[in-house]
Chains A and B, each alone.
Chain A
Amino acid sequence: MSDLFGLFFNSVFVGNILLAYFLGMCSFVAVSKNLRTAVGLGLAVVFVLTITSPANWFIYHFLLAPGALSWAGLPDVDLNFLKYIAFIATIAAMVQVVEMIIDRYSPALYANLGVFLPLIAVNCAILGTSLFMVERNYTFVESVVFGFGSGTGWMLAIITMAAIRVRMRYANVPVGLRGFGITMIVSGLMAMSFMIFSGMGT
């Protein structure tokens, strides 16, 4: 149990998917302009990550890993090279399903998220989490916790960034740095502050 808590803490703070591995930067920079959409997108990413990480675990361990097809009588087949395309297809399909469910049961939230919901499919943090999950040999339960933790870390980072950008409306940034420039500088300063946790855990 404490191992799982440690894994959660690690994936939120120590190895923050955004501020330690710099995955998912594009939507982080683009969507953090507005606090409300940042919270919505953050929640959607948490949700999608918590589903796709275990789903990809199943696909990898029962279809793609070397020797995974032995249940079908094909122990020599190694489909590892299909990892990327299979994961991306799963993610895209999952996002579509989530989109349809939200559209059916909560049209208001669907309208709020707008185009950002389908865009989650191309968020590098989602694919990155699935690949890390394979690379680090997580078990099924660990993959659920890791997906949830990565999503929470991503949401924490984007909400913090959105709040900082609310405050920066009063800043007087040099013209050449306005917009993306200053956002990248703030991301760098955030990553520096998050190094407080580097070296803890594994």
Chain B
Amino acid sequence: MKNVKQALDRLEIYFHKGAKLERFHPLYEATRTIFFVPGEATVCMPALRDSLDLKRFMSLVILALIPQTLFGMVNVGTMALMAEGGAVSWGHALYRGVEVFLPMLVVSYGVGLAWEGLFAVVRGHKISEGFLVTGLLFPLTLPPTVPLWQVAAGISFGVVVGKEVFGGTGRNILNPALTARAFLFFSYPISMSGDSVWIATRAVDAVTGATPLSLTLGARGDMVPEAMIRHGYTFWNVFSGGIPGSVGETSALLCMVSAVFLCVVGVASFRIIVGGVIGALVMGFAAALVSTELSPWHWINPWHHLIMGGFAFGITFMATDPVSAPGTNGARWVYGFFIGVLTVIVRVYNTAYAEGVMLAILFMNLFSPMLEIIEIKLRTGKRVPNV
């Protein structure tokens, strides 16, 4: 550590104002803060709402994402080996998972950091740690078979249009990782949806299956519970995450652990998460009440909405993003509640998409400034004037 500090100190004079490499000060700054806590506090959002330094803030999210990432890789490997019909061992599965996920992660970080660095150098702002979270969240939401150039295209859109045109971390209105995913979802639907993209198998004739959610798209009535059992989707499987899906989102169990951790350390707002769960349950219950016996959701308990698809992952990591979520408490309840409601509405009534949590969060991101303004209006309206 001492040597690193000395080396960095020796290099610092080249990046000072007026020195030769002044333009590249953001790059120096970013390298330095990886090793040492910076002396100054952040002055703009999201730190305005919290006394934590931005880097500590973001590294707590990364910490919460590590179990998801490891489990995701093992799961990707397991699913691939099972589909090929071979024997499954932990080591082999992890190896296959790393082989699939590591290139996605490297491309996401590499291309994203290149854009981030370009904007930082040209516009003279600092490279923000927020990107470390975006760059990890984004590949975790992708199916394991997505081509790498699409990862690069998606993260470019997310970083440039979703964040940098607004001036960088803390100023964007939509979650950048979800913006990137939505861009891919609408531009390249074949590699982002359907039944065959969720297992990264090498065998051409391997058995690929529907995910629990896509089973409900074409199915009718009480076939769904039977079909789920037939595909091996027991409650425990779906809850623990041993099912095909996007890399990091399958395990609702791990998401629950991360959600509790993030709420306890004060990064995520429990109001958003609890509001989302209530919203999904209320709407799921209402949908089950009014649906006829022929509807695929009629025979499924409402709480299935909580463990299927990406809901747990989205409400834990995406909806609680401190920048794009509202900053006032009442608005957080409303925001979370409607994410839950909209997710279930899309799953049950919108036959075009199997999963709705991504678009539900983006949609509510749009309304978070308005919810904040409404709550502030209501509160200041109650105030007795200072005569």
Q: Give the B-binding residues of A (Cβ under 8 A).
A: 35, 159-160, 163-164, 166-168, 170-174, 177, 182, 185-186, 189-190, 192-200
Contact B165 A177 (CB under 8 A): yes
Q: Which of B123, B350, B353 contacts A174 (CB 8 A)?
A: B123
Contact B369 A166 (CB under 8 A): yes
Contact B44 A193 (CB under 8 A): no
Which segment of B81-89, B93-101, B225-233, B354-362 sits at the interface?
B354-362
Per the 8 Å Cβ criterion, residues 319-375 of B in contact with A are 342, 346, 349-353, 356, 359-360, 362-363, 365-367, 369-370, 372-373
Contact A163 B166 (CB under 8 A): no
Q: Which of A163, A173, A194 contacts B369 (CB 8 A)?
A: A163
Q: Most chain-B CB neighbours within 10 Å: which of A160, A172, A182?
A: A172
The interface bits of chain B over 242-263 (1 if a CB of A lies within 8 angstroms of the residue's CB, else 0) are 0000000000000000000000
Q: A167-B369, A199-B353 are in contact. Are A182 and B182 (CB under 8 A)?
A: no
Residues on A with C-beta less than 8 A from B182 are 192-193
Residues on B with C-beta less than 8 A from A195 are 186, 359
Contact B366 A170 (CB under 8 A): no
Contact B366 A172 (CB under 8 A): no
A-B CB contact pairs (8 Å), 17 listed: A163-B367, A163-B370, A164-B173, A166-B373, A167-B173, A171-B167, A173-B167, A177-B165, A189-B179, A189-B366, A192-B186, A193-B359, A193-B363, A196-B342, A197-B350, A199-B353, A200-B349
A-B pair number, CB within 8 angstroms: 86
User: Does B286 belong to the interface (CB within 8 Å)?
Assistant: no
Contact A170 B45 (CB under 8 A): yes
Q: A171-B166, A182-B166 are in contact. Are A189 and B352 (CB under 8 A)?
A: no
Nearest residue (CB) in A for B45 is: A170
Q: Give the A-binding residues of B (Cβ under 8 A).
A: 44-45, 123, 125, 161-162, 165-168, 171, 173-174, 179, 182-183, 186, 342, 346, 349-353, 356, 359-360, 362-363, 365-367, 369-370, 372-373
The distance in angstroms between the C-alpha atoms of A198 and B350, with both chains bound, is 8
Q: Most chain-B CB neighbours within 10 Å: which of A171, A174, A196?
A: A196
Residues on B with C-beta less than 8 A from A190 are 366
15 extra interface residue pairs, beta carbon distance < 8 Å, beyond A35-B373, A196-B342: A160-B366, A163-B370, A164-B173, A164-B370, A167-B372, A168-B173, A172-B125, A173-B165, A173-B166, A182-B166, A192-B186, A193-B362, A193-B365, A196-B346, A196-B359
CB distance from B357 to the nearest CB of A (A): 10
Nearest residue (CB) in B for A19 is: B366
Residues on A with C-beta less than 8 A from B342 are 196
Q: Which of A35, A185, A196 contacts B356 (CB 8 A)?
A: A196
CB distance from B50 to the nearest CB of A (A): 16
Nearest residue (CB) in A for B350 is: A200
The distance in angstroms between the C-alpha atoms of A192 and B162, with both chains bound, is 12
Contact B161 A185 (CB under 8 A): yes
Nearest residue (CB) in A for B359 is: A196
Contact A189 B350 (CB under 8 A): no
The distance in angstroms between the C-alpha atoms of A155 and B167, with both chains bound, is 28
Contact B360 A196 (CB under 8 A): yes
Contact A192 B171 (CB under 8 A): no
Contact A189 B370 (CB under 8 A): no
Residues on A with C-beta less than 8 A from B183 are 192
The distance in angstroms between the C-alpha atoms of A80 and B370, with both chains bound, is 43
The distance in angstroms between the C-alpha atoms of A170 and B167, with both chains bound, is 9
Q: Which of B44, B179, B349, B359 contacts A170 (CB 8 A)?
A: B44
Q: Which of B123, B171, B363, B372 contacts A196 (CB 8 A)?
A: B363
Q: A195-B186, A196-B356 are in contact. Are A189 and B373 (CB under 8 A)?
A: no
Contact A199 B351 (CB under 8 A): yes
